[in-house]
């Protein structure tokens, strides 16, 4: 029996799938999904990619919200994207509040768990994020990386894009 590993796009949440809030996003009323996000997710899905969210949610460690808030926002994103997202992994830790955790990016434990669960081939897979720590976590496990940055900003990714739609198009051109 031949093994057919999956290709996957790992996605940071805040600043990629939704507009980043100055504090933490946990109230559904504050959820803003930028234009092009749903389209980008559909394009990647149609191209055969698994779509897995990997997000640090330190507000849980700080006592600002619970895991239920994270799931509620994930469900709202699923609704606008025709349930394109295959899974959600989040790290509820913050070094100053709960100690260090390898699940918190730039640690790559959550990506490694997802790769094992879904039999992901790192050579065909990507990490899209808006922070250096997202790029570092992806590179730690051999993923190609796309850094979402405004045009003038320095990027630590293998590629740079101004938003998720541009990142998706870039991945599909490779």
Q: Which domain holds residue 161?
A: 8-173
| Contact indicator for 92, 67 with CB cutoff of 8 Å | yes
- pTM for the full model? 0.94
> Nearest CA to 73 among 118, 28, 104?
28
DSSP 6: B
Residue 17 lies in a domain: yes
Q: Is residue 78 part of a domain?
A: yes
Q: How far apart are CA 90 and CA 83, in angstroms?
A: 18
What CATH number did the domain enclosing 95 receive?
Answer: 3.40.50.1000
Is position 1 within any domain? no
Residue 88 domain-assigned (yes or no): yes
pLDDT of residue 16: 96
The SS3 assignment for 90 reads: strand
CA proximity to 164, closest of 77, 21, 44, 74 = 44
Give pLDDT tens digits for 111-145.
Answer: 999 999 999 999 999 999 999 999 999 999 999 99
Assess if residue 115 is contained within a domain.
yes
Backbone angles phi, psi at 56, to 5 degrees: -80, 130
Contact (Cβ atoms closer than 8 angstroms) between residue 11 and residue 54: yes
- The answer to whether residue 2 sits within a structural domain is no
> Catalytic residues, which ones?
12, 14
pLDDT at residue 3 greater than cutoff 70: no
Instruction: Examine residue 58 and state whether it is found in any structural domain, yes or no.
Output: yes
Number of separate domains in the chain: 1
For residue 51, tell me if it sits in a domain. yes
- Which residues 6+ apart lie within 8 Å of 174 measured at CB? 144
**pLDDT digit string (tens) for 47-62?**
999 999 999 999 999 9
């Amino acid at each position: 029996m031949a093994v057919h590993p999956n290709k996957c796009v790992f996605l940071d949440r805040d600043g990629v799938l939704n507009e980043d809030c100055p504090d933490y996003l946990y109230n559904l009323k504050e959820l803003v999904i930028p234009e092009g996000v749903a389209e980008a997710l559909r394009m990647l899905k149609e191209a055969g990619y698994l779509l897995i969210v990997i997000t640090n949610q330190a507000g849980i460690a700080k006592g600002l919200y619970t895991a239920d808030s994270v799931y509620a926002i994930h469900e709202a994103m699923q609704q606008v994207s025709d349930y394109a997202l295959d899974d959600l992994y989040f790290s509820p830790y913050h070094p100053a509040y709960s100690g260090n955790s390898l699940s918190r990016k730039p640690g790559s434990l959550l990506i490694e768990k997802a790769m094992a669960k879904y039999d992901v081939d790192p050579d065909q897979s990507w990490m899209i994020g808006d922070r250096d720590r997202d790029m570092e976590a992806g590179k730690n496990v051999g993923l190609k990386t796309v850094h979402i940055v405004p045009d003038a900003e320095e990027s630590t990714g293998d590629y740079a894009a101004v938003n998720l739609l541009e990142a998706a198009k870039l991945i599909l051109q490779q």
